[in-house]
Copies of this chain bind each other. A is one copy, B any other.
Amino acid sequence: MKKLINKPENYVKEMLEGLYIAHPDLITYTDNDIHCLVTANKKEGKVGIATGGGSGHLPLFLGYVGKGMLDACSVGDVFQSPSAEQMHACTKYIDSGAGVLYIYGNYNGDIFNFDMAAEQADFEDNIKVESVVAGDDVASAAPVEKGAKNTRRGVAGIVFVYKCAGAAADAMLSLSEVKRIAEKACANVRTMGVALTPCIVPRVGKPGFSIGEDEMEIGMGIHGETGIRRSKLEQADKVTEEMVTKIINDIPFQKRDEVAVMVNGLGATPLDEQYIIVRKVDELMKKNELKVHRYYVGEYVTSLEMAGVSISIMKLDDELKKYLDAPAQTPFFTQI
């Protein structure tokens, strides 16, 4: 295991300590628990937005707490859900009477704990809580039938959901309105990823799976969940075309739709490669007559030191576009 760390059992604790040191103007914590990360700039009367999830995905999840996005994040151990108690503590801190919206990824541990925290907040503190669960990974399950439960995993598309809902809350919309916008963003975003290497959970000390030296896996999840196809490594253009085509066929997009695109590095893949992919994505967008309103390129959701990328596309309407374009400032996302 080639990591520049101290004792693996202190990995998350020391990471969090460094984070609070580096960004004191934006984040702090509540309940005497560094895993209960909250905004340092609470805005009274605003709907609070909380997220949470396992560590190992920086900047996700905690890096999007700040002005114009999220208000709190419960931080779990690497690839582990935080506890309901931590979520409850964050909820109490960020509520200021307008209620709290949970936005998190579609994983069983998180669902269980967030549901329990919401019950506690309602029962013990009379805080109104709503939840929106992001499940944007096209590779992880079949398309969602109308009215059915979404069984897809949540991956990088959640950042678009944070951004739009965060801006709506910042504009002082009501809890039901912020929830509606978060749901709309969720319904209109799709992601596909490709992994080139595994990653190592510090406490485990060795990869949980392997990918051959000349192989890739399309559709692998951000914890190494099995994807849809493993093969010899192919050229970037071919891989990009496969992923974008699957995404476009999934919503489906209409010609002349406006979209936002995120090309996201999973950890070890250089920015250069991400831009090589942007070039091909743009060619495919033109071919499909989709209009790209905005590109986001870089590391937004990672899997420790995994090499690979994901592509997320969100279909926009005027409302989503307005909230996507609004300014925000967090430790990892600054838009002016």
Could you tell me which A residues sit within 8 Å of B by CB distance?
2-7, 11-12, 14-19, 21-23, 55-56, 58-59, 63, 194, 196-197, 213-214, 216, 233, 235-237, 239, 267-279, 282, 295, 297-299, 302, 304-305, 307-309, 329, 332, 334-336
A4 touches B336 (CB 8 A): no
Most chain B beta-carbon contacts within 10 A, residue among A6, A16, A22, A335 = A22
Contact flag A278-B236 (CB < 8 Å), given A213-B2, A270-B304: no
Asked if B279 and A18 make an inter-chain contact with CB atoms under 8 angstroms apart, the answer reads yes
Whether the pair B277, A18 counts as a contact (CB closer than 8 A) is yes
Contact B297 A22 (CB under 8 A): yes
Q: Find chain B residues with CB under 8 A from A17 CB.
A: 275, 279
A270:B302 contact, CB within 8 angstroms = yes
Alpha-carbon gap, A307 to B200, bound state (A): 14
A205 to chain B, nearest CB (A): 13
CB atoms of B276 and A11 under 8 A apart? yes
| Cβ–Cβ < 8 Å partners of A267 in chain B | 268, 270
User: Taking CB as reference atom, which chain B residue is nearest A235?
Assistant: B6
The answer to whether B14 and A269 touch across the interface, beta carbons within 8 angstroms, is no
CA distance A309 to B4 in the complex (A): 9
Distance A16 CA – B235 CA, assembled complex (angstroms): 18
Report how far A325 CA is from B264 CA in the complex, Å: 28
A-B contact pairs, 12 of them (CB 8 A): A4-B236, A5-B276, A6-B236, A17-B279, A18-B275, A18-B282, A21-B278, A58-B271, A271-B299, A329-B336, A334-B336, A336-B336
Counting chain B CB atoms within 10 Å of each CB, the highest count among A3, A197, A235 belongs to A3
Residue of B nearest to A3 (CB): B273
| Contact (Cβ within 8 A) B276 A15 | yes
Contact between B22 and A295, CB atoms less than 8 A apart: yes
Which of A216, A271, A334 has its CB near the most chain B CB atoms (within 10 A)?
A: A271
Q: Which of B6, B7, B307, B335 contacts A268 (CB 8 A)?
A: B307
Q: How far is the CA of A186 from the CA of B309 in the complex (A)?
A: 36
For the complex formed, measure the closest distance between the CB of A219 and the CB atoms of chain B, giving whole angstroms. 15
**Judging by beta carbons under 8 Å apart, are A276 and B22 in contact?**
no
In the bound complex, what is the Cα–Cα distance between A194 and B2 (angstroms)?
A: 13
Most buried by B among A18, A235, A308, A309: A18
Q: Find the residue from A196, A214, A276, A305 having the highest chain B CB count within 10 A.
A: A276
If the complex has contacts A305-B307, A307-B305, are A273 and B5 also in contact, measured as CB distance less than 8 A?
Answer: yes
> How long is the Cα–Cα vector from A268 to B266 in the complex, in angstroms?
10
A271 touches B302 (CB 8 A): yes
Do the beta carbons of B272 and A56 come within 8 Å of each other?
yes
Contacting residues, chain B, for A270 (C-beta < 8 A): 56, 58, 267, 302, 304-305
Q: A2-B196, A4-B308, A22-B297 are in contact. List 12 more A-B contacts (CB 8 A).
A: A2-B197, A5-B276, A7-B235, A11-B272, A11-B276, A14-B279, A15-B273, A17-B275, A18-B276, A22-B275, A22-B295, A334-B336
